[in-house]
Structure 1
């Protein structure tokens, strides 16, 4: 690298300079490269070589995050510029070469994951394109758990309160040889289900939401002893309670029961250990799935859906004529009881419930109604719902007349595509 005063102007478009800049970026430290770019060309951050590549493209490809940050902050490099060969932006290049730290920097500077290349592939599509098509992941394959984010409530399971800005492995499972097949993270606690059907929880234990028989805080995941005699198949959780389904079709709940969301009879204020939900309305039907919102719990069999808890419109039926605001025992949603309706899956948020049938019909329980959102969505693998609004009049101390949160419904299909379902009035 030869250093000196640039022999060009701020409007330089020299292809020779561009080729020299791109070549220089393949070696040298970030600090030395910054000095070289500043001294070699007035327009080093904008120049494009014969392939349409800029300095930002190369920095993203090579994982030079400090240089990339300098190009964005000091040189105002355009992160949406596409190269000529494939139409890739710096974001495409960072994900293709596995430079996740550079991708995160680009996103923080306004980079869009949805921007497409010449083949119509977004940044996320590119991560799926080159995966081995002959390899099929099975639930019995070895798995490891990584968590990251805010750890104020000890929900990450790392043994301390430090937040994680990058994914870090949960040591307890890796050291113990425990493979996890399902994870549910909530505001105050996390729930983990192992491949062998054991349930682990960590976080704040107030109200008994961890199921350990006390209200202590647990920094690392601890096995729920009260479920050791069962092989559990599915877990669900919300802010204050946890729901577990066993292989035999039994449902266990624990945590706060302020809104009767535990579905226990007789009702308790809370349960610090797992207790079985006894539901006469099931009439011998086997429960195959569970979901949980902050104020309610959802159970479903092959041909029926049951909800229990505070009825703010998300349970699927009208308010009680006698003014009762809560449903204390699981009750069947009659609007979904049809001869040819078979339930495939369901999901719950604090203000809504979504159900999907085997024929691909998608229903939304909200505003005391059962609304059909879509038909023949036959390849859905998973559905999630967030937000929604509840009738604030049923519990004005907690629910405010603010219109609720925006309702978002996401669906994952077997091809790995995620779509957003919009409610059409």
Structure 2
């Protein structure tokens, strides 16, 4: 039974019981406000133990913050110490996370909660108090479940400037490595516990769990925990790692956490209206050229002609002037009935496209801030009112740009398109894919289609540096110079020594001398460029497009393993990059020279004639004094970018580029 507490409170129900007392929900009769009353039995306590039990009330009375359970009063009864405090009707943070049943919080929600905990802990530490039992069960929510409040200061300790705590206290799953070792500790142990709580917000699980205490301590001492999902920002993940550093000296202080840009920028917004912050997610015939010619047509569609209207409110008398402002980027396409470039619309004038990629039906661009733009086709109706989904590319007005729906905090650094599928690489080395799974190119272990980007889970824990793809195979390069391939294996394009296909990434066996730095894919072949500027190739060698034919093997049809490219002038020429078409290849040297090999049908090799020259690598002339900086190949054409102009040579029978 609850000890008589006079005529001030009406008992409602018991909230909980533990080794140190009981907790009751009561109603304060003076104003009808619901409060929590905590009773700590003192009948069997000595005088010293009673004084120690009063320390919770003393510590709590020092604190006054909107994110800390409010202290109202305390008094000593005949049989117990009674502490009166604020009631939080939303339950514990632990229960809130468990009730989500595996549905992750969005980054805005995580930061909303985390900042509140950080500010509360800053208040605690500023009063020279250690909480010593910070955990999700001791963090409570208001009724609307948008405001957090730290509670339970039962084992808190007030420190002077020279004191370091030494007693082993706290919940085992949240104790720091220094506590496990029995060492002195300070506020940095609270930072460790704060990191554990942040981990729970990100994963809905505790970072350190085990079936017994020795195993738990071992995990904590090793600092081993499962990685965070890549849909959270790198800044947030890096901050978590710093808080869970095994060396307390290398953990940040609470003030160092507050001044992090990801925290400080949101803190002001949060505290202008605490408790009411919504969480918003972020949501005809053409000529043929056998030698390089300058690409024409951009004069009529210059980037400066892609303008937006910007209002100027600095005019006098309240007038509003308008002026034209050049867009940051301009993207062009040509093909079908268009023999000259035509401008594609952008989501806004400040969208800056830094790279583009094309698939069988996809057109995608990557912005400087790591977002993906997709150009889709509008549906239009014919005279009968029937919707037509298939629209000719000759109608430039049918394309409209949309941002790919993204996960919060994901920053894309590379995008590649294959035959009906797309792969995205994040700045944290995480690979995602979406689109058609018909050839297993999504890397998810099946042939299912995926409409939104999904992590290639087989490569989690692998730091991916670059990704490339052909029409139906994928190649990945890691920062440790390891290569993985998957998809269609016909012609040996995967470099695995056989023509089998795979739906999961496979590690490629490489020669000891082969240390890849760059990767390139053609329709049915793959190239590796090493740190010493040597080339290795595998896949179809039709028309010697891999440049691997030798006098002893003049007509090698396929290479099932990566073999060195040794046809003259290689390997003497140091290669900078590779462009691979369906039946020809272009190599760009470090000196800005272009070499081509393969079928010369329609002049795609860039020679004076269109005659095929078997087994030979051709040096392309016609650039004058200009130095080529980039090279690319389509199925039957080649494009080179020089310091001055864009040149192209291609087939007149090609339907589009």
Q: What pairs with 1:172-191 in structure 2 (closer than 5 Å)?
A: 172=406, 175-191=407-423
After TM superposition, list the pairs within 5 Å mapping 1:165-204 onto structure 2. Answer: 165-172=399-406, 175-204=407-436
Q: Structure 2 residue aligned with 1:307, among 511, 521, 537?
A: 537
Note the alpha carbon deviations across 1:235-272, whole angstroms, 9 max, x for none.
1111110111111221111101021100013x251111
Q: 1:93 to 1:167 in 2, by over 3 A?
A: closer
How has the CA–CA distance of structure 1 residues 224 and 381 changed in structure 2, closer, same or farther, with 3 Å as cutoff? Answer: farther
How many residues are paired up? 283
Per-residue Cα deviation, 1:93-115 (whole angstroms, up to 9, x for no partner): 99242499xx99xx99x99867x
Cα deviation, 1:90-139, whole Å, max 9, x if unaligned, reads 86699242499xx99xx99x99867xxxxxxxx98xx9xx99xxx9x899
The TM-score normalised by the length of structure 2 is 0.38
Inter-CA distance 93–379: structure 2 relative to 1 (3 Å threshold): closer
Q: 3-state DSSP class of the match of 2:371?
A: coil
The alignment status of 1:144 with 2:364, answered yes or no, reads no
Indicate conservation of the 8 Å contact 2:631/2:638, yes or no: yes
TM-score, normalised to structure 1, is 0.56
Q: Secondary structure, in 3 states, of the residue corresponding to 1:335?
A: coil
Distance verdict in 2 for CA 1:278–1:98, change over 3 Å = same
Q: Which residue of 1 aligns with 2:384?
A: none
2:641 counterpart (401, 412, 416): 412
Aligned to 2:634: 386
Q: 1:289 aligns with which of 515, 518, 525?
A: 518
CA contact (8 A) 1:146 1:167 kept: yes
**Change in 2 beyond 3 A, CA 1:92/1:202:** closer
Q: CA RMSD in A?
A: 4.3
After TM superposition, list the pairs within 5 Å mapping 1:306-345 onto structure 2.
Answer: 306-313=536-543, 314-318=545-549, 325-335=557-567, 338=570, 340-345=572-577
Aligned to 1:396: none
Preserved contact between residue 491 and residue 499 of structure 2 (Cα < 8 Å)? no
Which of 496, 510, 528 in structure 2 is aligned with 1:279?
Answer: 510
Hey, what does 1:352 align to over in structure 2?
Answer: 584
Q: Which whole-Å CA distance do the structure 2 matches of 1:245 and 1:358 have between them?
A: 21
Could you list the per-position Cα deviations for residues 292-347 of structure 1 after superposition, in whole angstroms to 9, with x for gaps in the alignment? 11221111113311211122121113398597632111111112565752221112
**Partner residue in 2 for 1:97:** 307
State the distance in 1 between where 2:518 and 2:338 align.
38
Look up the SS of the partner of 2:567 in the other structure.
Answer: helix
Displacement after TM superposition at 1:365 (Å): 2.1
The answer to whether the 8 Å contact 1:317/1:369 transfers is: no
Aligned twin of 1:369: 616
State how far apart, in whole Å, the 1-side matches of 2:426 and 2:583 are. Answer: 29
Distance 1:112 1:197, change over 3 A: same
Deviation at 1:382, TM superposition (A): 2.8
Q: Kindly name which structure, 1 or 2, has the bigger radius of gyration based on alpha carbons.
A: 2
The equivalent position to 1:237 in structure 2, one of 461, 469, 478, is 469
Contact preservation (8 Å) 1:384, 1:409: yes
Q: Secondary structure at the match of 1:259?
A: helix
Task: Return closer, same or farther for 1:338/1:188 CA change in 2, 3 Å cut-off.
Answer: closer
Q: CA separation of 1:371/1:92 partners in 2, compared to 1, >3 Å: closer, same or farther?
A: closer
1:219 aligns with 2:448: no
**1-structure distance, mates of 2:436, 2:598:** 30
Is the alpha carbon distance of 1:354 and 1:113 closer, same or farther for their aligned partners in structure 2, counting shifts above 3 Å?
A: closer
Shift of 1:366: 0.7
Kindly tell me: are residues 333 and 247 of structure 1, through their superposed partners in 2, closer, same or farther at Cα, counting changes over 3 Å?
A: same
> How many angstroms apart in 2 are the aligned matches of 1:96 and 1:312?
43
Structure 2 counterparts to residues 238-253 of structure 1, below 5 A = 238-253=470-485
Hey, what's the Cα distance between the residues in 2 that align with 1:202 and 1:214? 13
Distance 1:336 1:183, change over 3 A: farther
Structure 2: gaps spanning 5 or more residues: 1-297, 310-326, 356-365, 379-388, 392-397, 600-614, 652-657
Q: Secondary structure at the match of 2:502?
A: strand
Indicate if the aligned counterparts of 2:367 and 2:373 stay in contact, CA closer than 8 A. Answer: no
Query: Aligned partners of 2:525, 2:299: CA distance in 1, in Å?
Result: 45
1:237–1:291 CA contact under 8 A, matched in 2: yes
Tell me the CA shift for residue 205 of structure 1: 1.2
Counterparts of 1:338 and 1:299, CA distance in 2 = 14
